[in-house]
Structure 1
Amino acid sequence: MKRLIIFFLILVIAVLIGIAVKIDPGYVLIAYRQWTAEMPLWFAIVSLCLLFVLLHALLIAWRSIKNFSAFYRIRRKLLRTHRPYILTRQGLFAFLHHDFKKAEKLLTKGLRHNRLAPINNLVLAAIAHEKHQPKKAEQAILAASRSASEEQMLINVLQAHLFMKNNEWPSALTLLQNLQAMEPENPLILNALKTVYIHLHQWRDLAKIYPLLQDLGEAEKDKDLLLAYCRGLNQSGQPDEALKMITHSLNKKWEDTLCELYGTIHVSNTAKQLKVAEKWLKNEPRNSMLYLTLGRLANRLNEWHDAESYLISSVQLKESREAYLELAYLYTAKNENEKALEMFRKANLLTD
């Protein structure tokens, strides 16, 4: 309704203007030197309005062109800045999916952005290693070192991992120990050191970093680490502490490897050690490793009858060289030489 009223008013005004122009159209005279222009008043007014509209349209068009040009420049700059990130992201996805050819291509393109160069070079080093190209891997590591000093620690840890994979364990050990001296609680360094210590059987050194690994939550997740740590405690003159750790772990979750180590640790109170192990029979009544451990401990206490019973139960459940050797030592101690020779023979057969 409101629009209809407005339209009606405009129509009335237009009619009135038309009538006024018809009665007295008037005129406009423009003179400049020898040049003159004469036109009706209404035509001059309409021409001015049209000129205003045209100029306004041209101004809007000019602003649009300027804005588009600015937008295009910004867009190009953003694309130039973000393209390396996109290439790096795509390259990392390809690397995780083991598409090394595609990953190498994308990451190489992404090297053009200096801030991303260390990341790209590190992954390119890993790809080169997977493709058995040690020289190329080393070149990528060096490139990463040159382009980012703040990532130097990560680069050195990766270098240590490459040493490990190339069986250069002493080089990895030296590098990681130097790194740990600078950052004693760095989880990347500690986990790499753990791997080196276990491989080189350096149990005492492993025992030194075990508390730090416990703080990281790694010790509880890695049964091999606990086994290695307990060996380290035993070899460094702390058998009681090693026994305590093993007992605590076996009471929570059974592991044959820990049970085997339990039987090889010598403490002052072997009788108590045997009694603790005998309690495990309730939950592990048919475990050959547990019977072997019980036999070893009983042998150590010169309890020949119990030792023989445990060891025979062990080989009945599962033959093992260790159980036959323990039986051989037992029969030798009892001067039952024929039985001892038979046990040695069976142990040798399992060795072959």
Structure 2
Amino acid sequence: MGVALKRIVVTGASGNVGTAVLRCLAKRANSPEISAIARRTPPARDPYSAATWASIDLADRDAQDRLRPLMAGADAVVHLAWGFQPSHRREYLRRVAVDGTRAVFAAAAEAGVPHVVHMSSGAVYEAGSYGRPIDESWPATGVPHCVYSVDKVAAERALDELSAAPGGPVLTRLRPGFIGQYAAGMGLERYVLPDFVPSAITNHLPVLPIDRSLAIPAVHSDDIATAIDAALERRAGGTFNLASSVPVRAADFVAPFGCGTVPVPWRVLSSVAEAAWRLRVQPVEGGWIELAYTTPMLDCDRAARILDWTPRHDGPAVWKETVAGMRAGVGADSPVLRSRSTREKLATLVERGPIDRRIPS
């Protein structure tokens, strides 16, 4: 018999994984009360209507104090919140990622919450086993040139420190590969395309430069939600890799775009992307490309044994579905995932500046 779950707090509940978690929890026979936290709250439509919402930016200095009363009496906290943009506001991203994670865990401990599930990433793993599966014992020192990886490592180290105190919550860390779904396509596009570039460009790519050694571990958002549900049900502590055993390879990456390829070494791609980012031409640091070509495959045997978890989608299917959502211009109702017209993106660009420099409102 599993743990009785009457109320769960979910941070980042309007995002890619959060949306899938809300769908998953709503299907439970005894669906728990959900207190959802996001910087911008979504409209009261499914799956978001099932939750009670609070608007909190985890970068704020009073985040811990504001979180504590929301967590009082909860059976678990699922911490999914993260920031990917503005990439040129390094201090802000660090506050969301590391200080925000500290605030969530500390508030949960102070409120007496017995279980915290933290969404980490396979990006924490040290390079050196590319294309080969590693288990959770592989060094979690990250990729030093990728801010996302650096901050995921720092967040885990903050949790190491906080969870060492006796009597605190059981801590579950999830380390997935790339996470995608149809509804996440527009969110991904918004993070990687400059505001002035029309969305339709993804339907007319003549060629993509790519290093053909590409092998990215990937997992569907719904499969992540299933793993979270299982961890909550079992109150299973420790670290779990989560990914399909079938990676996204170069041919899989290009196939949904229906275009040709030009072979280019990944280090060249990373250097060009970094230069373009520094020149403010596009919003993605070159470190993301380095991450794609250094993150190892993930051995998920521990999740299979302890959580009884098996992903239903393989990596190429996850990527194909995500790109299909991007090309169709179909998102979800949340501020993070909703589609935006070219006119709306240009208006925001003029009013508030490009996504890589504007502090989210």
TM-score of the superposition, structure 2-length normalised?
A: 0.20
More helix by percentage: 1
Give the number of the structure with larger relative contact order, counting CA–CA contacts within 8 Å between residues 6 or more apart.
2
TM-score of the superposition, structure 1-length normalised?
A: 0.21
